[in-house]
Amino acid sequence: MSTAELASALAALTSTGGSAGVGAEAARAEGERLAAAVAESSPRAPQAWLEATGRPYGNDVAATLQPFFDAAQQGRRWRSSPTALLAGLVAAGSPHAGAYAEALARVADAAAEIGEPSISAVAAAAGAAAVYRGAVAGRGAAASRPAGPTAPPAPADLDLGRLTGTRLPPGVPSVSDILDQLRTGSAGTGPTTPGAATGDGEATAGGARPASGSGGSAVPGEAPEPARSLEELLAELDGLVGLTRVKDEIRRQTELLRIERLRTEAGLTRPTLTRHLVFVGNPGTGKTTVARLVAGIYRALGLLEKGHLVEVDRSELVAGYLGQTATKTTEVVGRALGGVLFIDEAYALAEDQYGKEAVDTLVKDMEDHRDDLVVVVAGYPLPMARFITTNPGLESRFAKTIVFDDYSDGELRQIFEDLARRADFEPLPGTLERFEHLVAEQPRGEGFGNGRWARNMLDAAVARHAWRLRHVAAPTVDQLRQLLPEDLTDVVDISSDADPVPGPVPEPVPGPVSVAPGSVPDLTNEQSTSVTTSENKSETMSERSPSRPAGSPMIEDEESA
């Protein structure tokens, strides 16, 4: 277990956070969550993480490992989107944003090496690093590569990432780099993601670039980009796959607010309209992506000054002691002023008195800043309906609920194909047919991942594709790009001394294990420890076999809601 490097990376992040003005303790907590989320698919990672973070071992298995699983659950969305503190630095145009992003990338790289490193952990670290660097470069977590025909270079200067009519952002490795990293197990500097990323890993549908809303550059010294027009933002909304009801509701809300603004400008009585929204639906249905577009639309309408999105969950609003939560919540609201505050799994705030303090503070802040703050709360339908009734102030301020339906089989196929092509892969017709067959067999209960599931399928296919070419010394460009139907199967020819290839499996689920008193809990491929997270009782650690370790984002919305 390589823990020294992770401990060193966390210390460096803590120092950088202090210098950047975001707080050393807050930076340390963010780094620990990111590290757990990156490493959670690796056997023996929990023990190594505990050692690196200086947490004591105990005789009670659940109590000993609980901090790791809590941290992993809270940090998963940061594998595919900027962390909360980094997003704040970028939004503020801080000169420390680049250093903080690099410190986060170092933490992710170090976390991928603890325990018994898995391909999934290495890929998750590489993807996170690319997202952080892209955010500082002004592209945001979900910035896609600008399309445009590019003439193939001479063979001596061949760049495999630029042979498909799609340009890669500066500094992002090509497909050959990704394959090299997968073969060698090196985290590298971070390959590009297979498709755009928004929020907590939700795939962006339709190939459109999620809007940051602000249109400004995060890099000091660069000229800011012009604000995006309302027409551009609505066109991007229309370009998303599926979401017919969502598009209609957003357009109605847009027209309502546009007329409100025109009435105000004409000196007419201003109606009392709520701008705050409730998004309900399963994970991966585009809630964070649409929230970013809403932020941009409100800015284009002149209702918000900045139009940026600040995405948080319970852990970023609630403190450890009563009285501290109000201050913490108000600080988050302060970061969101002039934009949209997106609260993921908002019903977690209704669990105890600490969450109630956060809700009471939020309601007051929404009233105090009603002209320069929009709040969007998101989660599963039934829990969200109950959450809104827990406080009379919430009911009066969230009058509009927008339902995000699950994607159809055909829509998921289109999302999978779009994500693959934007990552310079070409799924053959038989591959797409195989994907749609797998979608049809997938149970569609509450919690189905939708776009995230499609993205995870692509992640696993890319890993199998790389493994399939392991004995090909000089693969052709077609071989490097084409995804075959066999890349979507669970049957992989792996030699006894080879690393396992990840498959599209659910988030980890724990199973019981016996531990002698005073010993350190030992998680192997054959046994996992039964632990239930404090924030989501249904999220647990899955039993892994050598051929199917838990998958994690390969190389983005989305959200965990």
Dump pLDDT digits (tens) for 228-254.
Answer: 888 889 999 998 999 888 999 898 888
Mean pLDDT score, 176-201: 38
Distance CA 178, CA 189 (A): 10
8 A C-beta contact, residue 89 and residue 12: no
pLDDT band with cut points at 50, 70 and 90 for residue 165: very low
Dump pLDDT digits (tens) for 92-129.
Answer: 888 999 999 999 999 999 999 998 887 678 877 887 88
8 A C-beta contact, residue 23 and residue 535: no
Task: Look at residue 223 in the predicted model and tell me its pLDDT.
Answer: 37
Burial 475-492 (b: 16+ CB within 10 A, else e): eeeeebbebbbbbbeeeb
Distance CA 44, CA 35 (A): 14
* R_g of the chain, CA atoms, integer Å: 23
Mean pLDDT score, 18-30: 92
Our measurement of the distance from residue 156's CA atom to the centroid of its chain's CA atoms, rounded to an integer in Å, reads 37
Task: Look at residue 497 in the predicted model and tell me its pLDDT.
Answer: 36
Task: Look at residue 174 in the predicted model and tell me its pLDDT.
Answer: 39
Return the SS3 of 312. strand
| pLDDT exceeds cutoff 80 at 356 | yes
Burial 365-381 (b: 16+ CB within 10 A, else e): bbeebeeebbbbbbbbe
> How far, CA to CA in Å, does 182 sit from each of 101, 117, 502?
23, 12, 12
Dump pLDDT digits (tens) for 307-355.
Answer: 899 999 888 898 877 778 889 999 999 999 999 999 988 888 887 888 8
| pLDDT exceeds cutoff 70 at 540 | no
Task: Look at residue 181 in the predicted model and tell me its pLDDT.
Answer: 42
Distance CA 547, CA 502 (A): 7
pTM of the predicted model as reported, rounded to 2 decimal places? 0.53
Domains identified in the chain and CATH numbers = 1-150+163-216+449-561 (no CATH), 230-404 (3.40.50.300)
495 burial (CB, 10 Å; 0-12 / 13-18 / 19+) is: exposed
Task: Look at residue 92 in the predicted model and tell me its pLDDT.
Answer: 82
Return the SS3 of 332. helix
pLDDT band with cut points at 50, 70 and 90 for residue 62: low
Single-letter code of the amino acid located at 228: R
